[in-house]
Amino acid sequence: MSNRMMKGLVLFLCCVFWTLAGCGATPQDYESEMPVLDMKTFFNGEIEAWGLFQDYRGKVIKRFHVAMTGEWEQNQGVLDEFFTYSDGSKQRRTWKLTRIDAHNYSGAADDVIGEAKGAAYGNTCWR
């Protein structure tokens, strides 16, 4: 599996874990899982990911591909995302990321209301 595909898979798994975060587990439950997810290393350089949107019945209503470029300087990062959707539409989002401490991160983007917060423990990221 190529490095790009591996990064896309890990990004997808992070999204899955973010979705399951409300199901009773805590981020610390995964602290001993390997390999450790270092967000500054993972979201550095070129990254590709794929995803989809489903309606309430589980029917896929739209797919997307995202090409990202991440750069970090100390504890500040920028993640530039370029989305291409299955309906032909395109979107760009630029995240400004901050590593707060060994586990916690925050992020903001011009087209997102409020501040995103997340944590990384072991090989898992959490919102």
pLDDT tens profile 86-116? 999 999 999 999 999 999 999 999 999 999 9
Domain spans in the chain, listed from the N-terminal domain onward: 3-126
Distances (CA, A) of 47 to 25, 42, 58, 87, 100: 28, 9, 27, 22, 23
Residues 6+ apart with CB under 8 A from 111: 93
Name which residue leads in pLDDT, 16 or 66. Answer: 66
Above 60 in pLDDT, residue 6?
no
Instruction: Label residue 38 by pLDDT band (50, 70, 90).
Output: confident
Q: Is 14 exposed, middle or buried (0-12, 13-18, 19+ CB in 10 A)?
A: buried
pTM: 0.74
The pLDDT tens digits for 52-72 are 999 999 999 999 999 999 999
Helix (H, G, I), strand (E, B) or coil at 5: helix
